[in-house]
Amino acid sequence: MKKAVTFLLLISSFSIYAQDTVKVSLQELRQKPLDQNLQLILAQKEIELTEAELLKTRAMHLPNITASYTMMNTNSPLNTFGTKLNQSRIGMNDFNPILLNNPKNIFDFGPKIEVQQPIINMDMVYQKKAGTVKTEVLKIKKERAAEYLRFELDKAYYMLQFAYKVLQTLEIAQNTTLANKKVIDNYYINGMVQKSDVLYLDVRLNEVKAQIQVAQTNIQNASDYLFALINEEGSGKTLKPSNELSYQTSIIAADQQLNTKRKDLQAYRKSFEAYNWMEKSAKSKLLPRLNAFGSFEMHDNKFYEFNGNGYLIGLQISWNLFDGLKSISDQKAHKADYNRAKADLDKYTQQSELELNKAYRQLQDAIAKINLTESAWSLSKEAYRIRKNRYDQGLEKSADLLTAETLMAQKELEYHQAVFEYNTATAYYKFLNN
């Protein structure tokens, strides 16, 4: 059973290392464009949708032109006389009262072109301004989303570094355990130690192998996530950082204030303009409108001839004096949206300040943790060295040596974990304050 488990672990390890390993630095990843990231693609599609809706407002400047072809048959006295008049076929006989009161049915074929030209419609003007602001807000939000993806990219790279560092530490621990096991096996053959000492080493060795398997899986997971962020095909590939996980201090002032020019805060404030324009649009619905109109039509009793024609042009001033209080209701609704957006901004700003302060404290905790774990790792290495020397002299039990070796590997992993948390906390703090 023990051989079967070891075989499966070796097969799994081989399948991971059989993939193509691609070395990459954090700087190289940062230089990659993120336009193909699915989240940014969705944000761009939302912008394009808003821009398409904004095109509808061109109707307040451009004419509306329609063409029609009407075919009609009637024996209505009024319509018959008017149709003949449009066809330019009125004669003296058509004024005969008998024919006027009892006309024969008549056919009419008439193409017509109508033009409507908006001139002054202030509600549409303000709607266009609101739509333009909405598009600008979405563009700012997309920029903030790109900044967050940059942070995620840094964080994923640090995770990849940490995963490789864990694997390296565990492989060193495995080699140390194997070396100790070789010595204890010789001692056991010579009757110098008990069977339990050999079993303890076997248990430790299997434990390290299981941890190595998890570390290899974490490497592949971090690599896949990086490929997903830059939206590149990562099948059969594993990324490897060109530089190892390391602790590099960053000078960050303790009294930094929330950056009011942050993209997400800019988007909030920019949206206020849209609400103001929409409120003005609702008010303008009660203002007079000026529009021009015109038409040209032809008529004949034969579908292929057009002997009669005429045109009509004019200006229209319309004024909606009362719309059932709908415009007033719209004004109040837009005003309420504006006030709600201001309250949302106040709440979001407060939350952002709290998050910034929390991130700074986490950063300080990470620094303290690095110092403590580094000291603990150094002490555990010294303790293992002493126990190893004493064990070689026959003054320590194998169980004590195993405990010291396990503690040393644990403290090393804790130190690397602290470095990873510090790098991530630094990147997050800079993102919040950007």
% of the chain residues with pLDDT over 70: 95
Residue 98: its pLDDT value, please? 87
Residue 137: its pLDDT value, please? 95
At a CB cut-off of 8 Å and minimum separation 6, what does 408 contact?
377, 380, 381, 383, 384
Q: Name the nearest CA neighbour of 261 among 135, 127, 430, 434.
A: 434
> 160-184: string of b/e by CB count within 10 Å (b at 16+)?
bbbbbbbbebbeebbebbeebbeeb
Q: Are strands 237-241 and 308-318 parallel, antiparallel or unpaired?
A: unpaired
**SS3 (DSSP) at 18:** coil
pLDDT in tens, 327-377: 888 889 889 989 998 999 999 999 999 999 999 999 999 999 999 999 999
The CATH fold of domain 2-62+121-286+321-432? Outer membrane efflux proteins (OEP) (1.20.1600)
Arithmetic mean of pLDDT, 16-33: 81
Query: pTM, whole model, 2 decimals?
Result: 0.80
User: Amino acid identity, residue 159?
Assistant: M
Ranking 52-61, 105-114, 234-243 by mean pLDDT, the lowest is: 52-61
Contact 409, 354 (CB under 8 A): no
How much is the mean pLDDT over the chain? 88
pLDDT in tens, 164-219: 999 999 999 999 889 888 888 888 888 877 888 888 888 989 999 999 999 999 99
Strands annotated E in 35-121: 64-74, 106-120
Contact 184, 400 (CB under 8 A): no
pLDDT in tens, 301-333: 888 888 889 999 999 999 888 878 888 888 898
Q: How far apart are the first and last CA of the chain?
A: 56
For residue 254, is pLDDT > 90? Answer: no
pLDDT in tens, 387-430: 989 888 878 888 888 889 999 999 999 999 999 999 999 999 99
pLDDT in tens, 85-137: 998 888 898 888 888 899 999 999 999 999 999 999 898 899 899 999 999 99
**SS3 (DSSP) at 394:** coil
> What ranges do the domains of the chain cover?
2-62+121-286+321-432, 66-120+291-320
